[in-house]
Copies of this chain bind each other. A is one copy, B any other.
């Protein structure tokens, strides 16, 4: 093997994989650090599973991303795999609702999706960060095309029911004005020698230069009305062409008004590791990933299989299941080993003979309540009337979020937006409503921000995760205390059973948590099997 650059078609990842194979994990981590690579992702390609004993079988419970990644890799390594899935489709929470789909929630309410052809709504995950390498690699392998997901849109709104009389503010104005005032205040403190104890004179000079640029301050280090500030916050009349084209500057908000509005609390989401650029969405809906896995694994997934008991002995694991559509008759599936990816909210209700520590872990973690609501409108008024292309409007109304589609920009015709993404108490309250009532409320709240809602709304879908039959909750809501006590116990292989899923990760709610936890489990089980076979 030669160094980087001499092997022209070898990626750094290939190189690391080879180092990992030949010299083990420690050498790989050293090499990763040398290549400046370690900070990107813990994922370093799929595990190299060599020497699978002939005929060894693994039973996998759940055809969500964790279960399908496990099945994909184990089958590739030569194992016999079988997957039981409760739903009639692959993906689990990787799920896109489109026109013609039907969804029945716990309690029996059925929604028939009436979205126009080509429009969709993702009730579950909807964005993929650039550093979720495991998921991105499977998208590449499975041929799932991606497009950018717009998280921060400077022209979307920040809205507070009590802020600025309830009038939505553009993100760009609050962002520019908060930053400008902060820069002005710190520049003033610097020039009044108040930083002398903490910052050297040379650094103070650099700090002042940087604050002027960064905060859009004027020559006197003031954040004031003028071309510089308008070029951040927007103009009263923007520049154009021809005779009457001269721009008219806007006037910044006062510091007090910005602070008092509390809208600054919405300025940081796009700064965080998980929501920084570049984010992605699969073209056509997040469900495209699960659907692609499902096609790949068609031969080994049994749908409509509701697991009712899991029993291991010293030779293998048996799952008892029944037909989810016609319950009553019990069937059995068996494997030498079992990877169980059922959400803990479901698994905690299913008899399974594992040790006390894993059982305690399974029972310990509550699941988050969230509600997502997709709304179809006659036209993309947010683009046509308000120049909002993708991104998120944040509000302190119960709907919390309005997210505009990050696809088919500038097109004519109808559009579906995310009309609510509710958390906590708001989510519980909406969960208690009928789907129709959730949608009516979302339209009513949203029309406080977009008056066009009332005339343009057509139909919607509302998914309350605590009423979703296959998860009864959105994701494992670990606290630090729970994690300290239970996480290791949850992730240990118990006899012939191991768990995988976002709940068995430090990435709760993220698909990458499901993918990397599955890869971790697959590697550890494989090692046990190979060790056992050669013993």
Contacts and interface: CB of A to CB of B under 8 A. Distances in A.
Most buried by B among A175, A214, A451: A214
Contacts of A145: 410-411
Contacts of A154: 276-278
A12 interface: yes
A37 B452 CA distance: 14
A341 B417 CA distance: 41
A247 B506 contact: yes
A155 B13 contact: no
A235 interface: yes
- Which 4 residue pairs are nearest across A and B when measured between Cβ atoms? A242-B520, A241-B517, A241-B505, A241-B516
A9 interface: yes
20 contacts: A5-B455, A8-B378, A9-B379, A11-B385, A145-B411, A147-B409, A150-B278, A175-B271, A189-B189, A206-B260, A206-B262, A214-B264, A214-B268, A232-B271, A241-B516, A242-B504, A243-B524, A245-B505, A245-B506, A247-B506
A427 interface: no
Nearest to A10: B455
Nearest to A408: B145
Given A8-B455, A273-B234, A255 B378 contact: no
Interface stretch (A101-109, A129-137, A292-300, A358-366): A129-137
Contact of A211 (B182, B451, B519, B520): B182
Contacts of A431: none
Interface of A: 4-6, 8-9, 11-13, 35, 37-43, 130-131, 133, 136, 139-140, 145-148, 150, 152-155, 172, 175-176, 178-179, 182-183, 185-186, 188-189, 192, 194-195, 198-200, 203, 206-207, 210-211, 213-214, 216, 230-232, 234-247, 250, 255-256, 259-260, 262, 264-265, 267-268, 271-274, 276-278, 280, 378-379, 381, 384-391, 406, 409-412, 451-452, 454-456, 488, 491-492, 500, 502, 504-507, 512-521, 524
Contacts of A268: 213-214, 216
Given A182-B186, A189-B189, A264-B214, A386 B40 contact: yes
A176 B216 CA distance: 18
Most buried by B among A255, A259, A512, A524: A259
Nearest to A172: B276
A183 B211 CA distance: 12
B146 A131 contact: no
A428 to B, nearest CB: 25
A198 B181 CA distance: 11
A211 B259 CA distance: 11
B176 A271 contact: yes
A243 B488 contact: yes
B198 A39 contact: no
Nearest to A189: B189
Contacts of A175: 271
Given A186-B186, A213-B268, A241-B502, 10 more contacts: A4-B452, A9-B379, A37-B385, A42-B240, A43-B240, A203-B259, A240-B505, A241-B513, A243-B520, A245-B517
Given A241-B506, A259-B207, A454 B11 contact: no
A377 to B, nearest CB: 11
Contacts of A179: 271
Most buried by B among A154, A172, A492: A154
A379 B140 CA distance: 14
